[in-house]
Each structure stands twice: as C-alpha cells, then as structure tokens.
Chains A and B, each alone.
Chain A
Amino acid sequence: MAKGKFAVLLTAVMFFATVGTVSAVDEIRVGTIGPTTGWATIFGEGALQGVKLALAERDYKFNGIPIKLFSEDTKADVEVMVTKLGSLKNRDKVHFIIGPSLGHEGMAAVDWGARNPDTPMLIGYSAPEDITMRKATYSVVRPGWTGAQVIFNFGQYCAKDLGYKKIIIVGQDYSYPWDQAAGFIRGFLENGGEEVLRIWHPVEAVDFSSIMARLASLSGEYDAVLNNSGGAQVVAFFKQWKQFGLDKKYPQILGQANVPIVSMLPELGDQALGVYSSLHYYDGNPSKANQKFREDFKKAYGHYPDVIAMQGYDAMRVAFKAMEALNGKVDDPKAFVEAVRKVKMSNAESPRGPFYFDSFGNPIQNIYIKKVVKKDGKLMNIAVKTYENVSQFGPYANMAQKYMAGPATTRDYPPGKKAEYFAEIEKWFGKDYVKNLKKNGGWK
C-alpha cells in the first residue's frame, strides 16, 4: 500500500519536473565564479560587484523574468574552481557563467569549457591570450582583454612618441608579467627601440634595495624603467624608488597595464603623478557611460570602480544584449553563445568605449595610453593617445596563424635585444615582414 503511494508520488514529481523544463524559461540563472577569499579577493570581488551593479540596474529582471545569481568562490585554486564550475552546472543548473578573474583560472576554465560546451561562459578579468587563441573554444567568450593586447601599442608609444631607445622592465616573476613584457618588447623594438632589459624578482618580494642600486648604476645607459608588478609590490617599488633618489635619475616610471588602476592610486599618492601606462579602459574617460558607471558604482559600494569591476559590469551587459536578441530564451546554449558573439557595444553602452568580438571571442577595442594627472585634487588616469580597434593580435591581426605558431612567452622570450629579436621574427613572420617594418620605420 505504502509502496503504491510512493510510486504515484514519484511519477507525479517526475512528471512536473519534465513539464518544468519543457516550458519557457521562468527564471534566468546566472553563475559567477572568481576568487572572493584569499590573496586575490580584489579580483573576484571587483568583478562580482560589477555584475551585481549591472543586474541591479535592471532590478534583477529581464522582460519581467526574474534573474537569480549564484556566486562561487575559487580561492584562486583551479581544482576548487573546476569542482565549483561543476556545481554551478549540475547543482544550480545555471544558463551561463561569468568568470573567472585570474590568469591560471582562465586557462583552466577554457579547458573546462571545451569539455562542457553546453554551458556558455563569459570570462571575467582573466588575461592569458591562449584563452581566446590557441585554446579557444566556441562556448567561451571573453568580453575582456589579453595581457599583450593592451600593451603592444604602449611599446610603440614609448619608442615613437616618447623617443626612448633602451628600457628596463622590473617585474614579478610569473606568467602575467612575462606576457606584459613580451607585448611591450614587440611594440618597442619593432618601432625603433633598441633594447629592453628584464629584471625579475620573486612574486612576494617587497624589498627592492638591490634592484634599486642596480637601476641607479644603469641610469646612464637606459632611458626609463617600467614597473611590471601588481598589488603591494607596486606600492613598495614606488616608495623605494623615491627613497633611493631614482626619481631624479629617470624621467618617470612607466607602468604595466595594472599599475596605476583606481584602487592603487590613493595608496601611491603623488608619487604616481606622471606615470604612463596603457589599458582598454581609463577612469578619467568623460563619456556618459563611464560617468554614470562610476557614480552608480560609488553609490552602491562607497568607492570608485576600477577596470576589474568595469569588466564584470560589461560582461553582464553583454549578456543582457544577447538576451535581448534572443527575447530571453537563454535555455538554448548554442543560440546564446551565437548571440553573445554578435553583440556590439557602442560608446554610449560601455564605460570602456566601443567594442565587438573577433572570431576567437575576444574584443576588438580601443587601447588608451594613459597618464596619471591630478584633477580637482584627485589622481586619475587621462588618455594621451587612443589606438582604435585593436585586436588581441595587435599589429599581427592579418597574420594571426603565424603569431600563434610562434614559441610561447617565457621569462626571457622574446629576446630583448634588437638584433636577436629581429632574427627571431624573421624566422616566424618571414623576411617580407621585417623588410616592411624597416621600410615604414615601424608599424603603420
């Protein structure tokens, strides 16, 4: 008797369960993933705040359909991340995932994406180029950036506009700074620079006295120093830079993309004045979209956003645009990814300016050469030059395959001396490329 009742109940439950999945979406389920505890909290938390702001703008609804957010913490550990991606997919049954934010997380996420093509993913702040190059997979789109994409033109700018010939890069010894250095070297050496010397220090180092002494002794030979670190290391570097009197020996510090970001400026103070860097977003952008984003963000969280939050915000807004194109039918992953890849954001829609996706799923966007200035008593980045519509391949957009066939970046590849570097690109890009480069005196 009891068994019979149970069977009826079970059938009923199963019946309603199937009916539930057949009918139209009655709830849009969005997953986010990123480090929200541990050393990398600033990256995960920032992106998540951006996503939440974009959701709050629409009251967590799309055309009346409620949106539910599931956020998971990776602790910056990829094994944890892969497990939690599984939780989001199988337990929470999310329609798509926004995240993650760190380099190694992104590489693992795209690998997961290739094995789970039915769960669309919009990468957050994660910047290794292979996510949308050698490992690119259809269901993974990145409304963000690659490390090299934003710095190719900075190398060019330093060689052409600032007229530097020899530069020293000091940075943390791991993949992300290596990629930054590589992108910079390509832009710098191909446009008239002569040498880039790389000095690597342990990731956690905060005492740079030996490096400072070396920089001081090299100051006669080199034109400028580029700081290629992040977080506390940048603050320590800038402080010791002044203590050792290097501000009198070099014109100013150059920074990698992440150096003078908004969260860093108050910590650096006036030492940051005049720092040049490059990125696909700058906080001083006077566009309406950016001003609104900044003020809304400040109202919600009490401080101004930086590029990390901007990217979470943009990712969610790209998803909204895709939903609009599909009329809210997010339960067809293939159609959703297709719609995401077709999204074009205008200057009025994104705080960073206009962008659209290339065939690999990475934005083609403006790259700004930024300079830190003081405006109304506050430090901010303004754009001194804009390079429009830069792809992740930078100047190599029409020879993407050759670029991807080349060796991977390491701590000392590509070579930093002009002659060795040119021998190397001749091998991978061909003689004609080098000939053209010499004829035009750099990129066109």
Chain B
Amino acid sequence: MNGSDPRLIKPVLASVLTVLLLSLPWLTSDYFVMMTIRIMYFGLLTMSLCYLAGELGLVSLMQAAFFGIAGYFVAILQTRYSLPFPIPPLAGIGVAVLAAGLFGLLAIKAKGVYFLMLTLVLGQLVWALASQWASMTKGDSGITGIYAPVLFGFSAEKSKTVFYFFQLFAFSGVVWFLAALKRSPFGLMLRGVRDSETRMAMLGYPVMLLRYLAFIFAALVAAVGGVFFAYFTGLINPHSVSLTANVEALMASILGGINTLFGAVLGTGILKTLDVVLSGVTERYVLVMGVMFLVIIMFAPKGIAGSARQIWEAYKGKMLSFLALGNKTAKP
C-alpha cells in the first residue's frame, strides 16, 4: 500500500502522538515534564476561551475566574476542612460549573463588546472576592500547602511522572469531550447560531439555551485546568483569577489560533516555553515576545495553527506527491 494515502495521515499522526505522550517521562528530563504539565493546565484555560471564541464567536474575560474558583475550592476544602481526595476537585469543578450557570444567566444575552464588558465585570467580582475575603481566601498572600493526591498507591506529589499521567488522563478526556461536542448535533447547532442567530431562531432552535450550555461547558474545561494548577503549584492566590491571567490565555489563543483546540495548546506551549527560556537568555525578554506577538498579528491573524493549516491546504497536493515520490525511490 502507498504510505502517503491522505486517509492514513491522521491515524498515523495520532498514534505517533499518543506513543510520544505516553513515553514522554522516559524520553525527556524532569524539567521537560514539568513544562508539559504547565502547558496542559494553562492549555485547558486557553481551550476554554478558544471554545467560546470558536463556537460562539464570543471572547470572554472571565474564564480565569472559573479556573480560579475550582483552584480555590480545592485549596480551601483541602487545607481548611481536610477533606479526602476526590471531594475537593469534584466540588471545585462542580462549584465552578454552578457559578457558570449563575453568571451565564447574566452574560449570555449580551453579544460582542457587551459580552466582553459583562464578563470583565463578573470576572473582576470573583477577583475582588478572592482578594478581599481574607478570612476565607487569605487575601493576597494566597493559600499555600495544597498537596497533590495519592492515586492507586502512587503519590502525584512526590513523582512528576505520576502527576503527568494523572493530568494527561484528565486532559485527554477533556480534549475528547470538546472534540466530540464539536462534531455532535449540539456543536452543529451552535455553529449555526454563531453564523446566523436569527435564522436558527426562526428555524425553531432554542438559541439562548444553546449558548448558555456552551458557556457552561467552557467553564467546566477551565475548572479542570484550575484543579491541576492548584495541585501542581501547591498554591493559589488572586492572580490566578485576575484579568491578567485571562489576558495571558487570550494572547496564547491568538498566538496559536483562536478557532481550533490544537491552536490553543500550541499557543500556550509557545508562550509558556518562551517565557522561561527567553528570560534565561535576556532580561529584555518581554520586549522580544511583544515584537513576536506583533508580527504574528500582522502576518498570521489566524494564529500559528491557522496559518499552518492554510499552508497545508495550499501545498497539500504537492507535498503528498513529494512524499509518494520519496517512498518510491526508497524502495529497492
């Protein structure tokens, strides 16, 4: 069979990726694993933002709030009430989803810049609560002393590898969930709403309900990220629910490509890696990143993933025939 059959590319890529991800702790250093873990939890936050932007066409400024609510609940339930493992993260995600249910009622009717402003206000509300309700959240000092759980006898606190697999499992689950959601009838209806709300309403679809549900799903994704953030860093403070955290996720999604889940992870990966690598090289690393960001916005407005896709679409035929040619010459 010809190795360059276009139908085979996806499964081959997927299985290579799976093998790589599963063997990562043994292929690379502890440091690399740590970076991957960070990219995964921030990636979830970015994905939550990208999901709303891609499926609803709405940019939210309060996804970090859901991220933080889950993190705070893990922190408070574990350090203050010493509840055993599955309760704090499940409660955290549950409360974040409930909060989304509540805030969604207010925010979801607005569109465009009004949605932006409403989510900004609601996000700041959560931030103010985290910063001011000091008897519960310890104010700006933040809550420390959060420890990752022991799973089937393996401590995720002591071993980065265990933590990595714990998170990879949840991360893959969320990615699968979002991808399935996108392909489902629900996803199709949602895209209909995004492209022409009036037409969908006229056809009898519950437009508001669809948007409301999408908002809650997005919050769920961010909340899962928040749980792992709290577990991995061992602390949480108002910065994680702040506007800055949300804007960083927005930057990552613009960098990677705001319409795709892959772009979200890619953008987060690039941003977080550059942050650490560049800062070791030069003190002016923020400037370098700023210039890079400017270049991307100007020349690749769809982000890196979007541009890569465009290039792929344009040269797909040529590349495939090139690959096929390569295969033929390689044969004896």
A residues at B contact (CB < 8 Å): 36-37, 72-73, 76-80, 82-84, 86-87, 90-91, 103-104, 107-108, 110-112, 114-115, 128, 130, 135, 173-176, 178, 407-411, 413
* Seed contacts A78-B235, A79-B38, A178-B139; 11 additional CB < 8 Å A-B pairs: A37-B283, A73-B285, A82-B233, A82-B235, A86-B31, A103-B141, A107-B237, A115-B234, A175-B139, A408-B138, A411-B132
Please report the C-alpha to C-alpha distance between residue A341 and residue B13 in the assembled complex, in whole angstroms.
56
Q: How far is the CB of A226 from chain B (nearest CB, A)?
A: 20
Q: Which residues of B contact A135 (CB under 8 A)?
A: 144-145
Q: Does B229 contact A (CB under 8 A)?
A: yes
Q: Which residues of B contact A408 (CB under 8 A)?
A: 134-135, 138
Please report the C-alpha to C-alpha distance between residue A322 and residue B256 in the assembled complex, in whole angstroms.
48
Contact A175 B140 (CB under 8 A): yes
B residues at A contact (CB < 8 Å): 30-31, 34, 38, 131-132, 134-135, 138-142, 144-145, 229, 233-235, 237, 239-240, 244, 275-276, 279-280, 283, 285-286
Please report the C-alpha to C-alpha distance between residue A413 and residue B138 in the assembled complex, in whole angstroms.
13
Q: How far is the CB of B60 from chain A (nearest CB, A)?
A: 21
The contact of B145 among A104, A111, A410, by CB within 8 Å, is: A111
Closest to A128 in B: B141
Q: Which residues of A contact B144 (CB under 8 A)?
A: 107-108, 110-111, 135
Q: How far is the CB of A159 from chain B (nearest CB, A)?
A: 26
Closest to B145 in A: A111
Q: List 30 A-B contacts (CB under 8 A).
A: A37-B283, A72-B280, A73-B285, A77-B239, A78-B239, A79-B233, A79-B240, A82-B234, A83-B34, A86-B31, A86-B34, A87-B276, A90-B31, A91-B31, A103-B140, A104-B141, A104-B237, A104-B239, A107-B142, A107-B235, A108-B142, A108-B144, A108-B237, A111-B144, A114-B145, A173-B132, A175-B139, A178-B134, A408-B138, A411-B132
Q: How far is the CB of B288 from chain A (nearest CB, A)?
A: 12
Please report the C-alpha to C-alpha distance between residue A76 and residue B140 in the assembled complex, in whole angstroms.
12
Q: How far is the CB of B237 from chain A (nearest CB, A)?
A: 5
Please report the C-alpha to C-alpha distance between residue A37 and residue B38 in the assembled complex, in whole angstroms.
21
Contact B280 A87 (CB under 8 A): yes
Closest 4 CB pairs of A and B: A111-B144, A410-B134, A175-B140, A175-B139
Please report the C-alpha to C-alpha distance between residue A411 and residue B229 in the assembled complex, in whole angstroms.
28
Contact A78 B134 (CB under 8 A): no
Q: How far is the CB of B169 from chain A (nearest CB, A)?
A: 22
Please report the C-alpha to C-alpha distance between residue A173 and residue B132 in the assembled complex, in whole angstroms.
8
Contact A84 B276 (CB under 8 A): yes
Please report the C-alpha to C-alpha distance between residue A89 and residue B151 in the assembled complex, in whole angstroms.
27
Q: Which residues of A contact B229 (CB under 8 A)?
A: 79
Closest to B34 in A: A86
Q: Which residues of B contact A103 (CB under 8 A)?
A: 140-141
Q: Which residues of B contact A413 (CB under 8 A)?
A: 135
Q: Which residues of B contact A108 (CB under 8 A)?
A: 142, 144, 233, 235, 237
Q: Which residues of B contact A176 (CB under 8 A)?
A: 140
Contact A175 B141 (CB under 8 A): yes
Please report the C-alpha to C-alpha distance between residue A114 and residue B144 in the assembled complex, in whole angstroms.
11
Q: Which residues of A contact B132 (CB under 8 A)?
A: 173, 411
Please report the C-alpha to C-alpha distance between residue A297 and residue B279 in the assembled complex, in whole angstroms.
26
Please report the C-alpha to C-alpha distance between residue A135 and residue B79 in the assembled complex, in whole angstroms.
13
Q: Which of A90, A103, A107 has the most CB of B within 10 A?
A: A107
Q: Which of B140, B285, B286 has the most CB of A within 10 A?
A: B140
Please report the C-alpha to C-alpha distance between residue A175 and residue B131 in the assembled complex, in whole angstroms.
9
Closest to B277 in A: A87
Q: Contacts A86-B34, A107-B141, A111-B144: A411 and B134 contacting too (C-beta < 8 A)?
A: yes
Q: Contacts A37-B286, A135-B144: A73 and B235 contacting too (C-beta < 8 A)?
A: no
Q: Which residues of B contact A410 (CB under 8 A)?
A: 134-135, 139
Please report the C-alpha to C-alpha distance between residue A130 and residue B139 in the assembled complex, in whole angstroms.
13
Q: Which residues of A contact B30 (CB under 8 A)?
A: 90
Q: Contacts A72-B279, A83-B276: A78 and B139 contacting too (C-beta < 8 A)?
A: no
Q: How far is the CB of A39 from chain B (nearest CB, A)?
A: 10
Contact B134 A175 (CB under 8 A): yes
Closest to B147 in A: A115
Closest to B144 in A: A111
Closest to B286 in A: A37
Please report the C-alpha to C-alpha distance between residue A410 and residue B131 in the assembled complex, in whole angstroms.
11
Closest to B284 in A: A37
Q: How far is the CB of A231 from chain B (nearest CB, A)?
A: 15
Q: Which residues of A contact B34 (CB under 8 A)?
A: 83, 86
Please report the C-alpha to C-alpha distance between residue A413 and residue B134 in the assembled complex, in whole angstroms.
10
Q: Which residues of B contact A72 (CB under 8 A)?
A: 279-280
Please report the C-alpha to C-alpha distance between residue A174 and residue B238 in the assembled complex, in whole angstroms.
11
Q: Which residues of A contact B285 (CB under 8 A)?
A: 73
Please report the C-alpha to C-alpha distance between residue A37 and residue B279 in the assembled complex, in whole angstroms.
11
Please report the C-alpha to C-alpha distance between residue A83 and residue B274 in the assembled complex, in whole angstroms.
13
Please report the C-alpha to C-alpha distance between residue A111 and residue B138 in the assembled complex, in whole angstroms.
14
Contact A111 B234 (CB under 8 A): yes
Closest to B248 in A: A77
Closest to A111 in B: B144
Contact B139 A79 (CB under 8 A): no
Q: Which residues of B contact A77 (CB under 8 A)?
A: 239, 244
Q: Which residues of B contact A178 (CB under 8 A)?
A: 134, 139
Please report the C-alpha to C-alpha distance between residue A135 and residue B235 in the assembled complex, in whole angstroms.
13
Please report the C-alpha to C-alpha distance between residue A206 and residue B279 in the assembled complex, in whole angstroms.
32
Closest to A70 in B: B280
Q: How far is the CB of B61 from chain A (nearest CB, A)?
A: 18
Q: Contacts A107-B141, A111-B145, A410-B135: A79 and B239 contacting too (C-beta < 8 A)?
A: yes
Q: Which residues of A contact B235 (CB under 8 A)?
A: 78, 82, 107-108, 111
